Amino acid sequence: MPRERSPSESIVITGIGLIASVGDDRESVWKAVRKGHSAMRRLTGLPGIPDNLFIGGPVDIPLSAPDELKVLALCERVADEALDDAGIEPGSIRLERFACAISAHMGDSRWSADRIGLGHLYPATTVPWWEQWLPNTACARIANRHNLLGPRLCHSTACASGLIEILSAARAIQDGQCDIALAGSAEGFHPLFAAGFQQMRVLADHDDPRQACRPFDSKRQGFVMGEGGAMFVLERLSHALARGARIYAELAGGKLLAAAHHVTGLDLESDALAYLISETLRAARLAPDQVGYINAHGTGTQQNDIAETRAIRRAMGRAADLLCVSATKSILGHLINAAGSVELAITVLAMRDGFVPPTLNLTRPDPECDLDCIPLVGRENQFICALKLSVAFGGALAAVALKRWENAASGVADPKLRAA
């Protein structure tokens, strides 16, 4: 039987896997983000989408079959990297105490395409559609691949999904259901998403695709879509210390909330989002002036950027003027289900290296978006606490607070913060 554990024991991050359009592993992606390099381009060959209509940041990754869902290959890549980064050795972990939390994804739509006469647009069938149809296919495949026997968790909450999986895995650890978890999400382009966002007129366009996404800028038009994914190894602190794991950061707190407003529109008064930020700080035992960086949802849509700015100002008070806030969707694109996990990975790496990533294309700040949004060029900043926000269609809101790891031997992120 597992020994008794305290539900208040810290949850720490000991492994990260990351892939995006700008790099095929954790450090290459982070290096590109630091430098503000973008890989956005006009895309061709998407089933049902006219060539050159759609801007995005694709990932080139080999598939096991031409018709394998790319999201599955992306999940495998980042899961393998996260487990390797965490130093997980075969046989060293009790697998029945090892959870897997991977967010849902669009399933194989070839059966539906066949019924409406569009089956010819898809690759020749080698993988039966029903093997990739369920939205929890990636979660099941990754858990089976690594023989993870603990809880399997899978949520479909639009662009808050990635962050919600992190919080769900942490809760499973706190509840005593497991000691360690692999958690995250991935996203590959899907024609239904592309067509839907195109019809909603939320996708940005520009003669230079790299300049299309302009969060917090007065000329912003919307977002561009990206591909990629991120996975984390989360552990109970005592479990991580017992096996001598390297620790990136403490998952200090997190909260979920609903904005009961509209399926796609946002409440520009930002009551729910401001409350979410305040409650996350309370759960993490942080004062507003202890937070040095916020990785915003930052889509580059008219509503989102104003709503986030107002919520941050309301929740943070005077400390908002001291904050660094950036929107890395300007570099990587909007990864929809994977946005929260990928941007949380960027936040952890920014904290590790003491460097705030930039918001690209922010040349004419919107007066209503009056935070320090790190225009164009990143900045050295040895911050020790950060927030990651996700604001999703359907009203799902999520936030995570992080504390940089300073003293593994004492089991605290930073002694000064424990007194808060």
| pLDDT reported for residue 54 | 84
Residue 172 contacts residue 178 (beta carbons within 8 Å): yes
- Residue 159 catalytic? yes
The backbone region for 239, taken as left when phi is positive above 0, alpha when psi lies in -120 to 50, beta otherwise, is alpha
Q: Where are the domains of the chain?
A: 11-242, 253-418
pLDDT at 409 over 50: no
pLDDT tens profile 171-196: 999 999 999 999 999 999 877 777 77
Residue of 146, 190, 239, 297 marked catalytic: 297
Residue of 154, 213, 334, 369 marked catalytic: 334
Of 328, 299, 292, the closest CA to residue 33 belongs to 328
User: From CA 28, how far away is CA 289, in angstroms rounded?
Assistant: 32
Lowest mean pLDDT, pick from 64-68, 346-350, 352-356: 64-68
For residue 248, give every residue at least 6 positions away whose Cβ sits within 8 Å of its Cβ, in sequence order, or none. 12, 13, 14, 16, 348, 351, 352, 405
Q: What percent of the chain shows pLDDT beyond 90?
A: 71
Topology of domain 253-418 in CATH is Peroxisomal Thiolase; Chain A, domain 1 (3.40.47)
Q: Report residue 340 as tokens.
A: 């929260």
Of 101, 14, 98, the closest CA to residue 337 belongs to 101
| pLDDT reported for residue 154 | 96
Q: Is the dihedral of CA 332, 336, 338, 339 positive or negative?
A: positive
Residue of 159, 213, 324, 385 marked catalytic: 159
Topology of domain 11-242 in CATH is Peroxisomal Thiolase; Chain A, domain 1 (3.40.47)
- Residue 154 catalytic? no
State whether residue 57 is helix, strand or coil: strand
pLDDT tens profile 133-165: 889 999 999 999 999 999 999 999 888 999 999
Lowest mean pLDDT, pick from 56-70, 144-158, 261-275, 384-398: 261-275
> Are 11-242 and 253-418 in the same CATH fold?
yes
User: From CA 12, how far away is CA 252, in angstroms rounded?
Assistant: 8
pLDDT at 269 over 80: no
